Amino acid sequence: MTPDVIPFFDEETFTASFVVVDPTTKRCAIIDSVLDFDYASGRTDFHSADEIVDYITTNALTVDWVLETHVHADHLSAAPYLQEKLGGKIGIGENITVVQDTFGKVFNEGTEFQRDGSQFDQLFVDGDTFKVGNIEAKVMHTPGHTPACLTYVIGEAAFVGDTLFMPDFGTARADFPGGSAEALYHSIQKLFTLPDETRVFVGHDYKAPGRDEFAWETTIGEQKSRNKHVGQGCAADEFIKMRETRDAELSMPRLIVPSLQINMRAGHMPPEDENGDVFLKLPVNKL
């Protein structure tokens, strides 16, 4: 079955969020939402999330799921806000526990921070199935960028998060703690077993040189033939060498410090202090 896919693009973080709709039942899923955050002031805003809320309410849709493809390091999740406004279950991959353990230590969260994924309503494993309305959805574990990365195949549409970008931009970095260029390569080969006509929706776009417009939709066939990093039957050792060399030159994402602390909590802020204030930690020489 073919879902309707409505994109919402945040140019501040170059993030593509999606509302995925079963047109028959008008039930939907929200994938990789954005909570706006001004790092200089520490202030949050909901205008990106409210665009999604407005679309869903205007079109009388019912939210089944608020899904994360992984723990994002470049933007904050608006999942709790959307759940409060619209309902739905918040889901992510079961390896969120690995991410929570890793970054719980980086941010010295202490024993009060639960590392069992209990902040989320659903922890998916490879091969799990669920429904968006009447449309069958399947979960594919596609680690490499992070150990918890998932691809959601909803009908004939695959939502790959940061595993693949548009063919002219390539693939995601794999140098975060728990990441692996080798695992990323094999995850992409797993995606390439999907039918060539499968629509692929990527989680970010940065406008490859020579392209004027942002883009977020391609196909498995286009990725296999045209992806600049891994297309045309690229061998594993060639890809791993390219990816590791390229990653060594990249700086950390601008919002990695707030993003990780919040997203590993399913989009919730850290606990308030005794005065009711919320603080984020800045680890020195840890990332």
How many CA within 13 A on the CB side of residue 36? 11
Mean pLDDT of the chain: 97
On whether the pTM is more than 0.85, the answer is yes
Q: What are 132-190's pLDDT values in tens digits? A: 999 999 999 999 999 999 999 999 999 999 999 999 999 999 999 999 999 999 999 99
The single residue listed with the structure tokens 């776009």 is 205
Scanning 158-210, the segments in alpha helix (DSSP H) are 181-191
Token readout for 269 is: 């802020």
The single residue listed with the structure tokens 């706006």 is 36
Residue 36 has pLDDT above 90, yes or no: yes
Backbone angles phi, psi at 5, to 5 degrees: -120, 120
Q: What are 235-244's pLDDT values in tens digits? A: 999 999 999 9
Distance of CA 255 to the CA centre of its chain: 14
From CA 18, how far away is CA 4, in angstroms rounded?
Answer: 10
Token readout for 212 is: 């004027």
Q: What are 51-98's pLDDT values in tens digits? A: 999 999 999 999 999 999 999 999 999 999 999 999 999 999 999 999
Predicted local confidence at residue 263, as pLDDT? 98
From CA 92, how far away is CA 165, in angstroms rounded?
Answer: 20
Identify residue 143 by its one-letter amino acid code.
Answer: P
